[in-house]
Amino acid sequence: MRSANFHYFRSNSSKMTYTPALNRYQGMEYRKCGNSGLKLPAFSLGLWHNFGLVNSFENARNLLRTAFDQGITHFDLANNYGPPYGSAEANFGRIMNFDFRSYRDELIISSKAGYDMWDGPYGNWGSKKYLVASLDQSLKRMNLDYVDIFYHHRPDPETPLEETMSALDQIVRQGKALYVGISNYRQEEAAKSIEILKQLGTPCLIHQPKYSMFERWVEDGLLDLLGREGVGCIPFSPLAQGLLTDKYLEGIPEDSRVKTSGKFLNESHITEDRLGKTARLNTLAQERGQKLAQMALAWLLKDERVTSVLIGSSKPEQIVDSIKALNNKSFTADEIRTIDSILG
């Protein structure tokens, strides 16, 4: 759903004051992002789903408050999160004003451009024209002077990498982003981008790939590259949008992403094969004293090259639940073998 121009309803609760939990930094682990001086929380919260104009504003606000109370200092956005496009950033901007303005320096806020955003030849992909204009729009929607991390969202086969990387470099030099990253880049194009950014003097901070027990392509060289180059890694969809939880084992709940959204995750993804694997993984998780979601997240965090796992949540209690993965993130060799054999 496109639209950069939309109106928002006013929330009566905007005057409710928020005081973050005083002990918010005690339970979270913070990991160095590659060779940089920046630390990210082991869990970051993404605003892809549940923050659009179509969603409950109060729930979105509670999700962000709960996350921050748990020590999650990193919120991840993109120009087109919604729906409609832009509305997750606009809602986030309002919540920033209501609740987080005093805590800006405790937060790492990221946005991205690279997918379809507005009509015409300058609202998509990877030209300098698109990236610079898109970040200007994102900053306005979020009421921010700068983002902490700005990503190119996906590689563009038609724009020279030099141009896209020079746009990222320019954005940092203009003070509109502190760091830059790439997302969805395969190993070879990631290697070239990292090298170009190094030459430009704006090192690539982080790569954001899709990575979970069900999606392991990053293990075929990309993770090794990031480790070698000192670039952080923040896997997105670490629960495969909810498939790596126990929620679909007994049918499809009405409040699940499959029913409430259905665009990127639908019934066709819940195959017999997946359900069989999920059930076996669930048994192993129970033996480890964890829920399946917690084991799936811990499994990613066992690798030190993974800086943070980028979770999504539809309910505040899911955030609290997922973070408990930190209570057990070591795996025996036997457990790893069992997981590999279940996943095939």
Binding site for ligand NAP (CB under 6 A): 46-49, 76, 153, 183-184, 208, 236-242, 245, 247, 256-257, 293, 310-314, 318, 321-322
Helices and strands: H and E segment counts in the chain: 11, 10
Closest contact distance (angstroms) between CB of 313 and ligand NAP is 5
Closest contact distance (angstroms) between CB of 190 and ligand NAP is 13
Coil/strand/helix, residue 202? coil
Q: Is 81 left (phi over 0), alpha (psi -120 to 50) or beta?
A: beta
Alpha helices (runs of H) in 70-160, residue ranges in sequence order: 87-95, 128-142
CB nearer to ligand NAP: pick between 38 and 47? 47
CB nearer to ligand NAP: pick between 123 and 155? 155
CB nearer to ligand NAP: pick between 202 and 313? 313
Tell me how far apart the 2 most distant CA atoms of the chain are, in Å: 55
DSSP β-bridge partners for residue 207: 182, 233
Q: How far apart are CA 128 and CA 185, in angstroms?
A: 18
Q: How far apart are CA 179 and CA 197, in angstroms?
A: 11
Closest contact distance (angstroms) between CB of 270 and ligand NAP is 12
CB nearer to ligand NAP: pick between 15 and 64? 64
CB nearer to ligand NAP: pick between 197 and 244? 244
Q: Which residues of 102-119 are buried (b: 16+ CB within 10 A; e: fewer)?
A: eeeeebbbbbbbbbebbe
Dihedral of CA atoms 82, 314, 139, 17 in degrees, nearest 10, equals: 130
Closest contact distance (angstroms) between CB of 302 and ligand NAP is 17
Closest contact distance (angstroms) between CB of 50 and ligand NAP is 6
CB nearer to ligand NAP: pick between 75 and 118? 75
Q: Is 313 left (phi over 0), alpha (psi -120 to 50) or beta?
A: beta
CB nearer to ligand NAP: pick between 187 and 318? 318
CB 85 within 8 A of CB 52: no
Closest contact distance (angstroms) between CB of 5 and ligand NAP is 24
Coil/strand/helix, residue 40? strand
Closest contact distance (angstroms) between CB of 299 and ligand NAP is 13
